[in-house]
Chain A
């Protein structure tokens, strides 16, 4: 009987891998096309082999290798990117599991960033309390659409989209404070670096391993994210709380019949979802590599929306999110290493976009692959 569940997860993983494979093939074809255009622009004659080798050597290789292409810096960047991406992916995945679509991860991420930086720059709190601050801010921002959904049945997507923008500009305003905010550094037009104002708020380095391998240490952010993913998996699969949340997600009416307080669960689920996105921002902005730029942050943090892709690719499984976030981080880091004069770095986004698009067809693949398995089993039975 165990076999059955094992097989189901195997099929899910196989279909995700299939999506990835097809996405990479289509990405390669796009690179070939771009390479052809670029070579045609030159005066030198060229062959098909030239086109293919340009596409591979100046673009596709980088995408495939990702951060490994430029060791050790690339890998360090990749992992640094993966940590917050895991968090926003978990944020969206957790909401999906409870039947909600948290498109507001971007806004919760921005508000969470404010929470983290405020705790760090103003109160000089240690890093774990700053992460907690980020979580609380994100949670509040997630809970609001949840509240509207639970009590007024307003679609959480609409509220969350609006709260994305309210959050982003609210954060910009607060951090800038007309230039006089204590968080804002007039000279750099960014928030003050956490390392300068409050070193204790920086996420600790991964000293031994990091220093020897990456030359400069990375942080333990990735481990924090992985631990949270595991905790989330346990909550969803092993606890009564997870049982209630999933019941609400599958069937609100049956959950109500079972005496589950579905209003409370919707708000809680959105709050937790928001907290996860907030922690993601904390992991990023407390790593000492980036500051918030209140004057030029006019677009929502893309990482919030990438979380949707990550969650879809992982079929909303918290453990799967770890791998899908690593993968998305891998190809987008690789995208940055492509020869910029031939290929725009956005090609990595195209590839991940194709992959995500294919994820929508995943159900179809699942059935096909499932069919393959059964057929094989049946044949086995005959022999």
Chain B
């Protein structure tokens, strides 16, 4: 009997033009939480896809409990007890939670689904592990956090005991992350083995037993978490020292750029309002952060602010001009750049090339078109300038199809495009979601540069580290209302967490005092 429940030995996988995994070895013990750490494009996802049967390795072998196995597709993986929560969830949007969980493992009698037993099992699992879900809600209607719980339940429903989590915390709030960590520890205690793909060092330090580090497709090493430090891990991952603090000059905010008064946004799902009478200001040279647990109205507020959606009540002023009834294009022209929350849905036309995406918000400007004809040469020159300046990496430069780029570089491209517009207000929603430390450090620097050039920044983030590091002022949103305003220098993550969870609320008077 081998020590290891799963071993991936000397795995090499090549794609046209790139060696995604180069002689990588990963050994997973029973009952351990094993972190897999690496930057974007380091080959983590490829390695996991090999384990999950989505790719066949060019060389190397996989062993389960010492015996060599062939994994040709996810069904084989499932038969070996391997389950995976993908970074981008694999759920059928128009199916219910329950249907998604049983999909592919459904019990049927004479072609008729037997859902009763399945429902009982799902409810039992969900209670046992504290994975709150609504079995009958449609996926498209539930929060990202709940979608992830559905993915976890999918693995448990199939009685998997080797659980792969691909960047699970990217979409979660601090409290949800703590919950997930606890759940993972419980899984480990029960003898399940967990592979935890991430690039968040805090989480690895908090929960993992061992960690394997990849860099540029190569195996760097495996360390015991007890014997290592955050700095050590980040050096292994990036190959250099990384600073976790963001350097910011002290500047006094200038005139009001964005003024939001009494904005109310109705919900599409129910009769209630998702954003309730929100008012605040953002001044030139200041980063104001809307913090809050996902699903508390931030997304809807930003949609109303940028014109993607309509609001039922309230006013928005930009540099004193009322833009409440402006179209999306008019707002963009008036001076709003927007790094959207969902880079695949909104940020990029995935089937366009990188250069076509680089002018997505500007193609109509005289610089890029003449009498309705796009100036291809200008577009390319501009795109190459941005690619160079913001270090956007891709297979074929400006003519790379955006879809084929890594998430981090897609995000960099969007950040480059939006920041380079040089507008008075930058709305950045989760700008570093799912990125590695190197890229986060870089994007944070860019956002601070925008502020230092005396522009206004409205940051919406779920990551408290980011909130604390970047903002000049923090507004906490809970159930569609702003429940508190904080100075990051005089508050703590714990205090913010209480407000975010709705356990505390600054009274109206206190709110007024602070103004």
Over the window 358-372 of chain B, the binary record of Cβ atoms lying under 8 Å from chain A Cβ atoms (1 yes, 0 no) is: 001101100001001
Residues of chain A contacted by B363 (CB below 8 angstroms): 240, 243
Residues of chain B contacted by A250 (CB below 8 angstroms): 349-352
A198 CA / B363 CA spacing, docked (Å): 47
Q: Are the C-beta atoms of A238 and B373 separated by less than 8 Å?
A: yes
Q: Are the C-beta atoms of B346 and A240 separated by less than 8 Å?
A: no
Q: Are the C-beta atoms of A247 and B349 separated by less than 8 Å?
A: yes
Residues of chain A contacted by B361 (CB below 8 angstroms): 258-259
Q: Are the C-beta atoms of B328 and A257 separated by less than 8 Å?
A: yes
CB distance from A371 to the nearest CB of B (A): 10
Which of A5, A243, A246 contacts B399 (CB under 8 A)? A5
Known: A1-B396, A251-B349, A257-B347. A240 touches B360 (CB 8 A): no
Beyond contacts A240-B373, A246-B352, A259-B330: 8 other A-B pairs, Cβ-Cβ < 8 A, are A239-B372, A240-B364, A240-B374, A254-B347, A254-B350, A256-B328, A259-B332, A261-B327
Q: Are the C-beta atoms of B399 and A259 separated by less than 8 Å?
A: no
Q: Are the C-beta atoms of B397 and A254 separated by less than 8 Å?
A: no
CB distance from A9 to the nearest CB of B (A): 14
Over the window 487-513 of chain B, the binary record of Cβ atoms lying under 8 Å from chain A Cβ atoms (1 yes, 0 no) is: 000000000000000000000000000
Known: A251-B350, A254-B346. A239 touches B338 (CB 8 A): no
Q: Are the C-beta atoms of A259 and B347 separated by less than 8 Å?
A: no
Q: Are the C-beta atoms of A257 and B327 separated by less than 8 Å?
A: no
Over the window 180-210 of chain B, the binary record of Cβ atoms lying under 8 Å from chain A Cβ atoms (1 yes, 0 no) is: 0000000000000000000000000000000
Q: Does B8 interact with chain A (Cβ within 8 Å)?
A: no
A247 CA / B352 CA spacing, docked (Å): 8
Seen from chain A, the residues whose Cβ lies within 8 Å of a Cβ on chain B are 1, 4-5, 238-241, 243, 246-247, 250-251, 253-261, 374
Over the window 423-467 of chain B, the binary record of Cβ atoms lying under 8 Å from chain A Cβ atoms (1 yes, 0 no) is: 000000000000000000000000000000000000000000000
Q: Are the C-beta atoms of B16 and A254 separated by less than 8 Å?
A: no
User: Which 8 pairs of residues, A with B, have the shortest CB-CB distance?
Assistant: A259-B329, A257-B346, A259-B328, A250-B351, A258-B360, A254-B349, A253-B345, A250-B349
Q: Does B43 interact with chain A (Cβ within 8 Å)?
A: no
CB distance from A134 to the nearest CB of B (A): 25
CB distance from A161 to the nearest CB of B (A): 23
Q: Are the C-beta atoms of B399 and A257 separated by less than 8 Å?
A: no
Instruction: Show 13 residue pairs from A and B whose CB-CB distance is below 8 angstroms, ordered by the A residue.
Output: A239-B369, A240-B363, A240-B372, A240-B373, A243-B363, A250-B350, A251-B349, A254-B360, A257-B360, A258-B328, A258-B360, A259-B327, A259-B331
Which of A4, A238, A239 contacts B396 (CB under 8 A)? A4
Q: Are the C-beta atoms of B349 and A4 separated by less than 8 Å?
A: no
A110 CA / B281 CA spacing, docked (Å): 59
CB distance from A233 to the nearest CB of B (A): 13
Q: Does B340 interact with chain A (Cβ within 8 Å)?
A: yes
Q: Does B308 interact with chain A (Cβ within 8 Å)?
A: yes
Over the window 307-339 of chain B, the binary record of Cβ atoms lying under 8 Å from chain A Cβ atoms (1 yes, 0 no) is: 110000000000000000001111110000010
User: Which residue on A lies nearest to B330, using beta carbons?
Assistant: A259
Residues of chain A contacted by B399 (CB below 8 angstroms): 1, 4-5
Residues of chain B contacted by A243 (CB below 8 angstroms): 356, 363, 374
CB distance from A319 to the nearest CB of B (A): 18
A5 CA / B353 CA spacing, docked (Å): 11
Residues of chain A contacted by B338 (CB below 8 angstroms): 257
Interface size class of B (residues with CB under 8 A): 20 to 34
Interface centre among A247, A250, A255, A257 (most CB of B within 10 A): A257
A250 CA / B357 CA spacing, docked (Å): 12
Q: Are the C-beta atoms of B374 and A374 separated by less than 8 Å?
A: no
CB distance from B435 to the nearest CB of A (A): 20
User: Which residue on A lies nearest to B348, using beta carbons?
Assistant: A254
Interface of A is mostly: helix
A239 CA / B352 CA spacing, docked (Å): 15
A374 CA / B16 CA spacing, docked (Å): 8
CB distance from B409 to the nearest CB of A (A): 17
User: Which residue on A lies nearest to B329, using beta carbons?
Assistant: A259
Which of B327, B350, B369 contacts A240 (CB under 8 A)? B369
A305 CA / B396 CA spacing, docked (Å): 39
Q: Are the C-beta atoms of A238 and B349 separated by less than 8 Å?
A: no
Residues of chain A contacted by B364 (CB below 8 angstroms): 240
Residues of chain B contacted by A259 (CB below 8 angstroms): 307, 327-332, 361
Q: Are the C-beta atoms of B397 and A1 separated by less than 8 Å?
A: yes
Residues of chain B contacted by A258 (CB below 8 angstroms): 328, 349, 360-361
Which of B308, B348, B372 contacts A256 (CB under 8 A)? B308
A109 CA / B329 CA spacing, docked (Å): 36
Residues of chain B contacted by A253 (CB below 8 angstroms): 345-346
CB distance from B311 to the nearest CB of A (A): 16
CB distance from B420 to the nearest CB of A (A): 15
CB distance from A381 to the nearest CB of B (A): 11
A260 CA / B360 CA spacing, docked (Å): 10
Q: Are the C-beta atoms of A239 and B308 separated by less than 8 Å?
A: no
User: Which residue on B lies nearest to A374, using beta carbons?
Assistant: B16
Q: Are the C-beta atoms of A255 and B349 separated by less than 8 Å?
A: yes
A257 CA / B338 CA spacing, docked (Å): 9
Residues of chain A contacted by B330 (CB below 8 angstroms): 259
User: Which residue on A lies nearest to B360, using beta carbons?
Assistant: A258
Residues of chain A contacted by B374 (CB below 8 angstroms): 238-240, 243
User: Which residue on A lies nearest to B346, using beta carbons?
Assistant: A257
A250 CA / B374 CA spacing, docked (Å): 19
A256 CA / B331 CA spacing, docked (Å): 13
Residues of chain B contacted by A240 (CB below 8 angstroms): 363-364, 369, 372-374
A258 CA / B306 CA spacing, docked (Å): 11
Known: A238-B374, A243-B356. A257 touches B350 (CB 8 A): no
A156 CA / B42 CA spacing, docked (Å): 44
Residues of chain B contacted by A246 (CB below 8 angstroms): 352
User: Which residue on B lies nearest to A5, using beta carbons?
Assistant: B399
CB distance from B373 to the nearest CB of A (A): 5
Residues of chain A contacted by B351 (CB below 8 angstroms): 250-251
CB distance from A367 to the nearest CB of B (A): 12
Q: Are the C-beta atoms of B373 and A239 separated by less than 8 Å?
A: yes
CB distance from A321 to the nearest CB of B (A): 20
Residues of chain A contacted by B347 (CB below 8 angstroms): 254, 257
CB distance from B274 to the nearest CB of A (A): 19
A250 CA / B363 CA spacing, docked (Å): 17
A127 CA / B332 CA spacing, docked (Å): 46
CB distance from B370 to the nearest CB of A (A): 10
Residues of chain B contacted by A261 (CB below 8 angstroms): 327, 329
A22 CA / B372 CA spacing, docked (Å): 42
User: Which residue on A lies nearest to B356, using beta carbons?
Assistant: A243
CB distance from B156 to the nearest CB of A (A): 33
A105 CA / B486 CA spacing, docked (Å): 61
A4 CA / B327 CA spacing, docked (Å): 38
A247 CA / B350 CA spacing, docked (Å): 9
Q: Are the C-beta atoms of B308 and A257 separated by less than 8 Å?
A: yes
Residues of chain B contacted by A260 (CB below 8 angstroms): 329
Q: Are the C-beta atoms of A251 and B396 separated by less than 8 Å?
A: no
A241 CA / B363 CA spacing, docked (Å): 10
Residues of chain B contacted by A241 (CB below 8 angstroms): 372
Residues of chain A contacted by B376 (CB below 8 angstroms): 238
CB distance from B444 to the nearest CB of A (A): 23
A5 CA / B306 CA spacing, docked (Å): 35
Within 8 A of A (CB), among B359-412: 360-361, 363-364, 369, 372-374, 376, 396-397, 399
CB distance from B29 to the nearest CB of A (A): 39
A240 CA / B370 CA spacing, docked (Å): 9
